[in-house]
Chain A
Amino acid sequence: MPGIVVHPGEDFESAYRKFKRQVDRNLIVVEVRKRRFYEPPSERRKKEKIATRKKILRKLWMLRRYESRL
């Protein structure tokens, strides 16, 4: 559970930035948003498929860029 103590002499802005960094690092908001609705297995598979396709395309693009530089 992320949280900070504002030390005496520390201004609120810097303390808030520290707090926000902690919250962002823990991916709390992302996780809650992900859990808002149920994701059926069919949708999960669909997402996976798209992610795999993207990964392959990216690899291909990198390879082509590398070859063109040779």
Chain B
Amino acid sequence: MAKRKLTKKKKIKKQVGRGVVYISATFNNTMITVTDEMGNALCWSSAGALGFKGSKKSTPFAAQQAVEDVMAKAKEYGIKEVGIKVQGPGGGRETAVKTVGAIDGIKVLWMKDVTPLPHNGCRPRKRRRV
């Protein structure tokens, strides 16, 4: 039987100059996704994915690490200019935005808050009894 030759092709990452950083800061975690201008996801990271577990996931430090991780990945796509979209009330919210601005080689073009707020929508869940 003829053996199929396995040839590993080196994946060439498409080069995108400009992108959008989506920061989703929830009460329990901070997730960051970098997309191109059309909204196609390029790379992502989160505090949980970096090994922070439990309540450590929601800390500003974890958010900072996640941003640094995702921006290192994004640089492979040639990203130089970004816009930032933040949503959620989490603890990592401010640190995440600040860290994006502090990374050298990345220029922030705009910032926007896209937190969804209901116009008195569904009833929220009941309060935790702890």
Query: Which residues of A are at the interface with B, using a C-beta cutoff of 8 A?
Result: 1-6, 12-13, 15-16, 19-20, 22-23, 26, 28-29, 31-33, 35-39
Contacts and interface: CB of A to CB of B under 8 A. Distances in A.
A12 B108 contact: yes
Interface residues of B, number: 25
Given A12-B101, A26-B113, 6 more contacts: A2-B112, A3-B110, A3-B113, A29-B93, A32-B115, A38-B126
Given A35-B118, A36-B27, A6 B126 contact: no
Nearest to B126: A38
A6 B127 contact: no
9 contacts: A6-B108, A12-B108, A15-B101, A28-B113, A28-B117, A29-B93, A32-B117, A37-B125, A39-B127
Contacts, number: 65
Nearest to A38: B124
B89 A3 contact: no
A29 B89 contact: yes
Interface in B74-130: 88-89, 93-94, 97-98, 101-102, 108-115, 117-118, 123-128
Contacts of B88: 32
A28 B87 CA distance: 10
B54 to A, nearest CB: 19
Contacts of A32: 88-89, 115, 117
A23 B87 CA distance: 11
A1 B113 contact: yes
B108 A37 contact: no
Nearest to B106: A12
B110 A5 contact: yes
